[in-house]
Amino acid sequence: MQSASVLITAIATVLMAASGVARAAEYTGPLLDAHLHYNTEAFNGQTGPHPLADVLARMQRSGVKGIVANSRPNDGTKALAESPLARAAGVTVVPFIRLYRNRADYDNWFRDETIYDMVLAEHARGTAAGPFKGIGEFHLYDSANANGAVAKKLMAFAEDEGLAVLAHVDDVAIDLLMANTPSKGQKTRLIWAHTGISGASVQRVDALLARYPLLMGELSYRPGLTCDGGKLCPEWRTLLLKYPGRFLIGSDTWVNQRWMYYEELMKGYRTWLGDLPPDVAHKIAWDNGAGLFGLPLTVK
Ligand SMILES: [Zn+2]
């Protein structure tokens, strides 16, 4: 009897050790969601499927303590930034100016002077809770449009005003956008949404991070990032370890379905963040975004 129980204990110990090797503990610290939309479909003037109390409760349940918020139109962002519910939920809102008033603007913003005027007016007005901290997300489906007249002006405006830029573009457009700034990308705070959604190679991402010192990679929808069991793929793990200060996580709640699965999305991040050394995980989860926008590095 005695030896049987010793044997069972020994087997259990071996199994626990084996499972510990297979799956590291997930990251349990604070998260900063650096790519969040609160679009009109989500709330439609407080009565939509995801009113403020709903989205903030999802963030709170997910341990999200900070968000980079933008929305089509900008009303959703302002509602989040100004809401006492956000403070009550322990969520710091970093508001960005969206370039889109409606769906048609996705394909024209880079040449539409009325959008440039709208961005300047929003920037001058700010939110009731304080100034906007960036512009975007914007999209370029054809990288050549990075040289559109309004795209050029907005990149220069952002750099001159110290605004961050959230851009959903390919790697070619990163170079073009950077070339359109006064510093040629050396002082441009560009957050690369998805870090190349069409799958720019790890080597290419590495080269761009090396060329532009303030370029940051946001990792939602990034192809090839995770492998079996939601763990980091080896070449991405190596890249994150090479540039621990240059990556961010985000939900990209571009449709309501992303709100429905918000907590699962954040749990997915916690899984692969757990594959990294704790200090690196904390940087990608929180410190990098907090550093960009002046949030405290320690949060409850
Ligand atoms: Zn997005």
**With 90 as the cut, is the pLDDT of residue 66 above it?**
yes
The Cα–Cα gap between 179 and 161 comes to: 17
The Cα–Cα gap between 107 and 140 comes to: 8
**With 90 as the cut, is the pLDDT of residue 2 above it?**
no
Ligand 1 center to residue 161 CA distance, Å?
23
DSSP H helices in the chain? 2-22, 40-43, 52-62, 75-82, 84-88, 113-125, 149-161, 171-179, 202-211, 234-242, 256-260, 262-273, 278-282, 288-293
pLDDT the model gives residue 102: 87
Is the alpha carbon torsion for 233, 239, 243, 247 positive or negative?
Answer: negative
Q: Which helix (H) or strand (E) holds 65?
A: strand 64-70
End-to-end alpha carbon distance in the chain:
49
Contacts of 154 (CB under 8 A, 6+ apart): 99, 116, 119, 135, 165
Ligand 1 center to residue 20 CA distance, Å?
35
User: Considering only CA atoms, which of 81, 113, 143 is closest in space to residue 293?
Assistant: 81
The pLDDT confidence band at residue 299, using thresholds 50, 70 and 90, is confident
Segment 260-284 shows an average pLDDT of 98
- DSSP secondary structure code for residue 108 in this structure: T
Ligand 1 center to residue 168 CA distance, Å?
7
Q: Which of 86-95, 98-107, 123-132 is least confident?
A: 98-107
Task: Indicate the pTM of the whole model.
Answer: 0.91
136-148 pLDDT tens trace: 999 999 999 999 9
Segment 77-83 shows an average pLDDT of 96
The Cα–Cα gap between 246 and 248 comes to: 7
The Cα–Cα gap between 188 and 184 comes to: 8
182-193 pLDDT tens trace: 999 999 999 999
The Cα–Cα gap between 67 and 276 comes to: 22
Ligand 1 center to residue 254 CA distance, Å?
6
Ligand 1 center to residue 167 CA distance, Å?
9
SS3 34: strand
Q: Any idea how long the chain is?
A: 300
| Strand order from edge to edge, sheet including 247-248 | 31-37, 64-70, 92-97, 134-139, 164-168, 190-192, 216-218, 247-248
- What number of CA atoms fall less than 13 Å from residue 147's CA on the CB side? 6
pLDDT the model gives residue 24: 72
Ligand 1 center to residue 176 CA distance, Å?
20
CA 217, chain centre distance (Å): 8
For residues 66 and 32, is the Cβ–Cβ distance under 8 A? yes
DSSP H helices in 126-233? 149-161, 171-179, 202-211
Phi-psi map region of 198: left, alpha, beta (phi>0 left; psi -120 to 50 alpha): alpha
Ligand 1 center to residue 124 CA distance, Å?
24
> What share of the chain in percent tops pLDDT 70?
91
Ligand 1 center to residue 193 CA distance, Å?
7
